[in-house]
C-alpha cells in the first residue's frame, strides 16, 4: 500500500480521484493500492515558552533556547487560554494510522510556497 499526504482535503481528494482511491473514509481516501490523506494547515508547532517553565519574558530570560525543542499539536486561543485543536489532533491520529498501514509515503505538499527559492 502507498500513502500519499497532501496539504489540504481538496487537493487530497483530487489526487485520490486520479490514482483511483475512490473509497472515502473519515480523513482519507483509499483504493487501488493507495491511501490518500491530508493535513489541515499546520498540525504541529513548537511549544510555547510556558511549556519549558518560562512564566514571563524578560531581557534576562532571553534568548530562550530549549533543549530539546518540543513539538505540540496545533493550539487555539480560547477564553480559557491556549488549548489543543481537537480537529488537528484527530487528523494527526488518522495520518498516523494511514502511515502505519503503508509501505511507502509520497509527500505531495507544496514546499515551494513555504521555502524561498
> CATH code at 86?
3.40.50.140
Alpha carbon distance 33, 102 (integer Å): 9
Q: What is the domain count for the chain?
A: 1
How many Å separate Cα 64 from the centre of its chain? Answer: 25
Alpha carbon distance 114, 3 (integer Å): 22
CA angle centred on 105, ends 26 and 46, rounded to 5°:
75
Helix (H, G, I), strand (E, B) or coil at 102: coil
User: Does residue 117 lie within any of the structural domains?
Assistant: no
Residues 44-102 pLDDT 10s = 999 988 888 888 888 988 898 888 999 999 999 999 888 999 999 999 999 999 999 99
- Show the cell assigned to 27: 480523513
User: Does residue 95 lie within any of the structural domains?
Assistant: yes
Predicted TM-score of the model (pTM)? 0.83
- With contact defined as beta carbons under 8 Å apart, do 63 and 6 qualify? no
Structural domain harbouring 96: 2-51+59-111
User: Does residue 116 lie within any of the structural domains?
Assistant: no
Amino acid at each position: 500500500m502507498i500513502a500519499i499526504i497532501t496539504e489540504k482535503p481538496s487537493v487530497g481528494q483530487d489526487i485520490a480521484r486520479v490514482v483511483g482511491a475512490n473509497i472515502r473514509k473519515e480523513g482519507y481516501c483509499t483504493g487501488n493500492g493507495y491511501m490518500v490523506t491530508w493535513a489541515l494547515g499546520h498540525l504541529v508547532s513548537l511549544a510555547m515558552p510556558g511549556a519549558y517553565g518560562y512564566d514571563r519574558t524578560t531581557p534576562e530570560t532571553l534568548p530562550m533556547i530549549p533543549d530539546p525543542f518540543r513539538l505540540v499539536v496545533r493550539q487555539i486561543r480560547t477564553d480559557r487560554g491556549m488549548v489543543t485543536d481537537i480537529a488537528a489532533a484527530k487528523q494527526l491520529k488518522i495520518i498516523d494510522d494511514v502511515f502505519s498501514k503503508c509501505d511507502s509515503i509520497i509527500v505531495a505538499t507544496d514546499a515551494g510556497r513555504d521555502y524561498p527559492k
